[in-house]
Amino acid sequence: MLSIIIAILLLISVTYGIFSDNIANVSYAAVNGCTDAVKLVIFLSGSMALWNGIMNIADKSGIVKKINKIISPLTKRILKGINKNPQALKMVNMNITANFLGLGNAATPLGISALKEMNKDFSIYSQRNIAVFTVLNTASIQLIPTTVAAVRLAHGSSAPFEIIPAVLITSVISAFAGCLTAYVLFTPGLKNKKEKK
Amino acid sequence: MKIIDLFVPLIIVLIFLCGLFKKVNIIDTFTEGAKNGLKTAVEILPSLILLMTAVEMFMASGADKALSDILSPVISFLGFPKECVPLAIIRPVSGSGALSVLENLFSKVSPDSFAGLTASVLMSSTETTFYTITVYFSSLKKKADYRIFLAAAAADITGFIFSSLTVRLLF
């Protein structure tokens, strides 16, 4: 998928560059883009190292467990029928918490385990739960957007983290929109939709 | 003193205190996590080099401006800044690509401008849709139903619209 995107980008750049007589700029970008990537990663790696380290401390100090307990009632409501499968519930809670704390690397394997558990068909809502949970992960509710803040800082932002309230509101609303859509679309017995087993 | 300025230092301090209280080995735990973070940074570098080159070439050709000009009637109706259109298009498709576009955007507008803030909020509140769906469903050895993509698209589009709205309201 990514190769196609890059190919398209390159094709459009060169074609449009020739067409709009901008090809000199394109050529410059071709030679300099790579260096910019290295500069960016050097800048980002500090931030990634710091926050992964801090969140690891949070994880080992049981903060993850505490947050799990808080969100569990909410999760049970949204993913109906999941309490028939307590292992799935546990994985779901941990995935949500990891995402929330910005531990993307931890969240993904947890999410996969959660899905595998949910797929074991313990309830008629299992397919819907899978859908809602997947969409929740694509919508991402993150408390501290460390990567974006690092890039902002690199370009002279006076207050890189001031976006946090806006981000929270937007992520929650978009997650809600997505999950609601999945919830409705996958409700068992809706019209004559075939349930994929 | 704004509350938001307190937020990050407070979180760091609280986490440290929790760790001390729970007798966690702070330095070792931090180092373990930090090494992981560095590893991730190195892992994304190769593909990022390719992507950023492609994205910068794309931006340099002026095609991005042409694209947003085409979409501009719909976009301005929604109050969404034109400069953020390439970002919105690439975001669900590629995380590193979106990062490159963001980086490029910030070289043209200030991160604290309306466009810059919207881009930041957009980038932080959405996730790479196609990648996530692919990873999750391939682990289940299943094909993702079109309804999943529909729902994910609903989430993304809502995210785009609300990123400019919240920036407008809060800043």
Query: Could you read off the pLDDT of A151-184 as tens digits, one per residue?
Result: 999 899 888 889 999 999 999 999 999 999 999 9
Check CB contact of A70 with chain B, cutoff 8 Å.
Answer: no
Mutation target among A57, A67, A148, A157 for the B interface, most CBs of B within 10 A? A57
Cβ–Cβ gap A6/B54 under 8 Å: yes
State how far Cα A109 lies from the chain centre.
Answer: 13
Task: Write out the two tokens for A185.
Answer: 């679309």
**Cα distance between residue A169 and residue B164, in whole Å:** 12
Contact call for B148 and A134, based on CB within 8 A: yes
Q: How many CB atoms lie within 10 A of CB B28?
A: 12
Question: Cβ contact (<8 Å) for B110 and A156?
Answer: yes
pLDDT tier for residue A144 given thresholds of 50, 70 and 90: confident
- Partners of residue A174 in chain B, C-beta under 8 Å: 125-126, 155-156, 158-159, 162
CA distance A39 to A150: 12
Mutate to test the interface with B, among A43, A100, A170, A195 (most CBs of B within 10 A): A170
Pairs across A and B, CB distance < 8 A: 328
Whole-number Å distance between alpha carbons of A18 and A33 = 19
Rounded to the nearest integer, the mean pLDDT of chain B is 86
Buried b (16+ CB within 10 A) or exposed e, A107-122: bbebbbbbbbbbbeeb
Whether the pLDDT of residue A19 is over 50: the answer is yes
Taking CB atoms and an 8 Å limit, are A38 and B49 in contact across chains?
yes
What was the pLDDT predicted at A195?
Answer: 47
pLDDT of B50 reads 85
Contact B118, B84 (CB under 8 A): yes
The pLDDT score that the predictor gives to residue A192 is: 47
A25 is written with which tokens? Answer: 């700029």
CB-based contact B106 A154, cutoff 8 Å = yes
Nearest CA in chain A to B130: A138
Q: Tell the burial category of A21 from Cβ atoms under 10 Å away from its Cβ (0-12, 13-18, 19+).
A: exposed
DSSP chain B: --HHHHHHHHHHHHHHHHHHHTT--HHHHHHHHHHHHHHHHHHHHHHHHHHHHHHHHHHHTTHHHHHHHHHHHHHHHTT--GGGHHHHHHTTT-HHHHHHHHHHHHHHS-TTSHHHHHHHHHHHH---HHHHHHHHHHHTT-PPPHHHHHHHHHHHHHHHHHHHHHHHHH-
CA distance A94 to A3: 33
User: pLDDT tens digit string along A65-112?
Assistant: 888 888 888 888 888 878 788 888 888 988 888 888 777 777 888 888
So what's the pLDDT on residue B1?
A: 62
Query: Looking at the partner chain, which of A28, A137, A174 has a beta carbon nearest the beta carbon of B158?
Result: A174
Of the ranges B1-5, B87-91, B130-134, the best mean pLDDT one:
B87-91
Residue B89 has a pLDDT of 85
CA distance B4 to B11: 11
Q: What is the pLDDT of residue A1?
A: 62
> From the candidates A31, A32, A55, A56, which should be mutated to test the interface with B, based on the most B CB atoms within 10 A?
A56
**What is the Cα–Cα distance from A93 to A12, expressed in whole angstroms?**
43
User: Which candidate in B127, B143, B168 is best for mutational testing of the A interface (most A CBs within 10 A)?
Assistant: B127
Tell whether A4 lies on the interface with B, counting CB pairs under 8 A: no
Of residues A17, A119, A170, nearest to B163 (C-beta): A170
CB of A61 less than 8 A from some CB of B: yes
Give B122-165 pLDDT, tens digit per residue.
999 988 888 888 788 877 777 778 888 889 999 999 999 999 99
| Three-class DSSP category at A192 | coil
Taking 90 as the threshold, does the pLDDT of residue A37 lie above it?
no
Tens of pLDDT along B26-47?
999 999 989 988 887 888 788 7
- Is the Cβ of A179 closer than 8 Å to some Cβ of chain B? yes
pTM attached to this predicted model? 0.80
On the CB side of A148, how many CA atoms lie within 13 Å of its CA?
31
ipTM over 0.90: no
- Which residue would you say has higher pLDDT here, A136 or A107? A136
Chain B hits for A61, Cβ within 8 Å: 15, 18-19, 21-22, 24
